[in-house]
Amino acid sequence: MLTKEEIRIRDPFILVDRDTETYYMYGTTDENTWEGKGSGFNAYKSKDLLEWDGPFSVFKPNELFWADRHFWAPEVYYYRNNYYMFASFKSEDKRRGTQVLTANDPLGPFEPLTEKPVTPREWECLDGTLYVDHNNDPWMVFCHEWIQVKDGEICAIKLSEDLTTSIGEPKILFRASEAKWPARNTQYVTDGPFLFRNKKDELLMIWSSMGAKGYAMGISKSLTGNVLGPWEHEEDAFFDENGGHGMLFETLDRELRLAIHAPNNMPNERPVFLNIKEENGSLKLI
């Protein structure tokens, strides 16, 4: 068994299995996140969020897989009676994109659902997340990366019901510089969007950028309740202590938690679970 302080991971994502009363944690687990050959993804499981079994290898690329580096930010969802992983990959001759993988068990092994990413092949994209709207239509919300567009964009694209392909063209939801809390610069990062509905059934999003103290997160709200917005942004960062790429989950006791990695410095990243409450339709750290 490991404590979470003994687990080095970036971009932690928690899947809660209420049938077995088990938490599964996925994330970026390669030794060197930015350099070298990508080896795959590991996962951990726990009954209490304190002690963890693992690591379990949940994805390893075979010789036919198109990407060989930058294996980043896997998110796993139980959707239409199966498990689906959204994760970002890159190769020397192909741009970074978010690929959908599938498995019949939360510990995999996950296999690519298609031969190529869902995100546009001419774009540098990352951090695709699944959002299912009120009509039960699936969407991928993802980042069009700042290294290509300078002012990082968060975009949405509708997916086919089986998640194998995109429908139509991606829509830009907003750019990082539209919010006041990211550090003013010539380049603006967008990372790690995660969508959720508050108790008023309003659609909110947490996402990451660089703030005054390092990696940070802010909150945005759709003014229509629709994924296509328009989106307005809270003025101040929600978390600004050099940690981020957050997601929200409810514990087995129905308490709201925010999962992030902190600090944002290699090799010291660790999973952090913060107590959260909803207040006036937004989120507050307890």
CATH number, domain with residue 77: 2.115.10.20
What is the DSSP secondary structure assignment for residue 62, as one 8-state letter? -
Cα gap 144→119, rounded to integer Å: 9
Contact assessment for residue 128 and residue 119, using Cβ atoms and an 8 Å cutoff? yes
Radius of gyration over every alpha carbon of the chain, rounded to an integer in angstroms: 17
Q: How many domains does one find in the chain?
A: 1
Residue with tokens 């980042």: 143
The helix (H) or strand (E) run that includes residue 3 is: strand 2-3
Low-confidence ranges of the chain (pLDDT < 50): none
Cα–Cα separations (whole angstroms), residue 17 to 24, 42, 138, 219, 256 = 8, 18, 21, 27, 15
Query: What residues pair up with 210 in beta bridges, in sequence order?
Result: 215
Q: What is the pLDDT of residue 182?
A: 96
CA angle in degrees (0–180, nearest 5) for 255-260-263: 140
pLDDT of residue 33: 85
DSSP 82-136: EEEEEEEEEETTEEEEEEEEEESSTT---EESSSS-SS-TTS-EEEEEEEE-TTS
**Sign of the C-alpha dihedral, residues 77, 79, 83, 87?**
negative
- Give the pLDDT of residue 186: 79
* Residues spanned by the domain of 76: 2-285
Q: Give residue 36's pLDDT.
A: 85
pTM: 0.97
